[in-house]
Chains A and B, each alone.
Chain A
Amino acid sequence: MSGRDPELDRPELRRIDQTLTDYAVSTDDAPSPGFADWVMRSVANEPLPRRGLLVSLGLLLTTPGPYRMVAQAAVVVVIVVAGIGSGVAIGQIDNLFPDKVGTSPSPLPSLEASPPSSPRPTVSPTATPPPTLTPTRSAAPSPEESEEESETPEPSETPNPSETPEPN
């Protein structure tokens, strides 16, 4: 075993390689004479092994022979059938839960809920309170507004043109 690996170029690796090789050589023993009989007695009551379906299919696919083409065709058919079946199953699930499927994904609620919540407070709260407060002020005093130049900030906050017509 030693020296057969050109990868072991470093001295310390060669030393370990030699150590392991020497150890393996020094334990070059054989099992006791009745070992095989003992093993056969142990497997005597075991059920006979059988080749698994996947292993058999793999062997058919890889071993050259008359059944190779048949096995490859069978695999293609199985894959196609499985694909169709899974598509149908997904479609049925989609039909079972039409509402949940449409609304359950998290992006939709988060997208619909968040935009209205942020614009509306900026528009309607400032729009509705001022109409109740400022229109009464701005509508009535508006004729007198020339005197109240100091309150320009308040009217400037409600400068929305749509609000002044509303009280009218």
Chain B
Amino acid sequence: MVDAVLRGDRDAFRAIVDRTQGPVYRACLRILGSVPEAEDAAQESFVTAFRSLGGFRGEGPLQAWLVRIATRSALRRRAQRRPTSDISVALARPSGRTDDPLHATLLGERRAEVRSAVAALDEPYREVVALRYFGELSLDEVATATGRPLNTIKTQLRRGLQRLAGEMGPEAAS
């Protein structure tokens, strides 16, 4: 499909979008926590990918390449917005799957805490954790997408989780 797009077939890019919009959008949503912001970031990521499709070397899955673009775009957006935005996001969209307002509020705060903790990680741990959990990529795919050895990715993921454990405390999974 990439070759078709490069030959001038724009409809082939439509097929790429249809096939990958789910994971790309979800990666953005899990980082940003807001549906409108996530759609903006995902749309921007697809435009960026279209422009730089000629640089895709086919070393890994196209979806992993797109998710990496989306993850970076969402993290950049998150870093640029005001610090209070995440609180308002958590309160505005606590959960669509519960009728209990208190539970919904607590769940929303919990999600905001997870997003903030991951966003506060230093690189390269932030990107690796985000690609692994928010981008739904396997460790092999993270290694291919970032161009780093698999053992390096394992080490960075482990250290990222250690830092998250220190940041979020022992009640993280409660």
A residues whose Cβ falls under 8 Å from a Cβ of B? 1, 5, 7-8, 12-13, 15-24, 26-32, 35-36, 38-40, 42-44, 46, 48-52, 55, 58-59
Contacts and interface: CB of A to CB of B under 8 A. Distances in A.
Provide the main secondary structure of the chain A interface: helix
21 contacts: A1-B132, A7-B157, A12-B165, A12-B172, A15-B170, A16-B172, A17-B161, A20-B164, A27-B26, A27-B29, A30-B25, A31-B38, A31-B42, A35-B25, A38-B43, A40-B13, A49-B50, A49-B52, A49-B54, A51-B54, A55-B54
Interface string B58-99: 100000000000000000000000000000000000010100
A31 B129 contact: no
A23 B54 contact: no
A39 B172 contact: no
Interface centre among A17, A20, A38, A43 (most CB of B within 10 A): A20
Interface residues of B, number: 53
Nearest to B56: A55
A55 B17 contact: no
Contacts of B107: 26
B10 A43 contact: yes
Given A20-B129, A39-B47, A31 B25 contact: yes
A20 B8 CA distance: 40
B133 A21 contact: yes
A98 B51 CA distance: 49
Contacts of B47: 39, 42-43, 46
B42 A51 contact: no
Contacts of A35: 21, 25, 39, 42-43
A29 B57 contact: no
